[in-house]
Amino acid sequence: MNIKRVLVVVSALFFLLTNTHGQGLPEDGPLTIDESLQNLAERLLKGKQGSIVAIDPATGEVKAMASNSAINDGINRAIGVAYSPGSTFKTAQALTLLSESVLYTNSRYSCNKGFWRDKIHIACHEHLNRLDMVNALGQSCNSYFCQGFATMMKDRVKYRTKNVAINKWNSYMTSMGLGAMLGIDMEGEASGLMPDSSLYEKLYNGRWNGTTVMWVGMGQGEVRATPLQLCNLAAVIGNRGWYRVPHIHQPVNGLPLDTKYTAKHFSLANAKAFDTVVEGMKTCVTSGTASRQKSPFYEWCGKTGTAENDGKDHSVFIGFAPKDNPKIAICVYVENAGFGADLAAPVGALVIEQYLTGTLTKRSENHAMQWEKFQVVPDNLGMPNDSLLQTYSINKKEMQQASR
């Protein structure tokens, strides 16, 4: 390729990606936003397409909501785009399977870089075989949660039919704030999707079973969630079973908040299930897929996710801190950025450190500067005409080389 053309394309993409676009924060009154946290989140999203959202689990107050798009499409990607949640969804899956006694804390499944069943192959990264629930969460084992979900769908002792099974599963998900709009006090919220029997009967004309939909177990398939919903899921887990509807406006003129934003909403999952999932998320940070983000100053919990899609995988992370009586819950979702452990998790750890301590250490600030400069070109810029990328297909490595 002509180097001049490469540099032209690089310059155009650099301009698009380093200018924050998307629906801004509301301007109609005092907000719950923490300005220092918001500023950091916006810095970390430069050169990337995605969002960072953080809430106070105890109150539902939104403390940061940054959204970056390649073009000015008016979409706040924290609330207005429903994605595959990837492995962050395994936390909700675990809560359901444990509460329904489909699986137990000591339940184990085989996994040798994945498994085969009925000519279906579920791939997984290398880790110790036959993990229990806590370590399956910590190591993010795809085989474990796909097989666990399939087991629930096929259980004819507990559930009379597969439709009864999937509807019971759906009721747990909706109780955690998934599958429908949460009702944040902003415009542009998407609903997300949690499948039920009516959807699967239409999609498969009745010809589905636990194996054909087992991808749902690892946060793929038909499930969709907004970053706000995933952040709220982290808050539900941090609170051990409940949440308040996230809101971004403060009460004004002495008027209290609408009860919509003060009432507690309770999950169907039981207390023992939450204890196990919290332990699994702690393990993720101490010795699992996010172990590089372990903090010497506080104990916290997280879950990485790598969401598959038509292009490059999305990098996802949810978490809350501290482990007990959490002050912040977070979701980082960066499109086409690869493994959750590689980008979303370290970015999330920086946001948490800033909020809990009020500042970043010198080492963390250096990391923040590096991530601020790091660019991820989205597969779909959302441009009316994608001929620019169709004519000049440049991967991330070539982009970085050309811009040096």
| Nearest-5° Cα angle at 34, 280 to 344 | 40
Distance CA 145, CA 137 (A): 9
Please give the pLDDT value at position 386. 32
Contacts of 371 (CB under 8 A, 6+ apart): 44, 343, 346, 347, 350
Tokens of 191: 């609903």
DSSP per position, 348-404: HHHHHHHHHHSS--HHHHHHHHHHHH-----S----S-THHHHHS---HHHHHHHT-
Tokens of 15: 């301009």
Distance CA 83, CA 100 (A): 26
| Nearest-5° Cα angle at 236, 26 to 328 | 55
Tokens of 195: 């499948």
Distance CA 37, CA 175 (A): 29
Tokens of 383: 């441009």
Distance CA 332, CA 231 (A): 8
Task: Answer whether CATH 3.40.50.620 is correct for domain 19-374.
Answer: no
Domain boundaries defined on the chain: 19-374
Minimal CA–CA distance to 305: which of 143, 123, 142?
142
Please give the pLDDT value at position 384. 35
Amino acid letter at 120?
A: I
Please give the pLDDT value at position 85. 98
Return the axis-axis angle of helices 197-204 and 162-175, rounded to nearest 10°: 130
Pick out the chain residues at pLDDT < 70. Answer: 1-23, 381-404
Please give the pLDDT value at position 333. 98
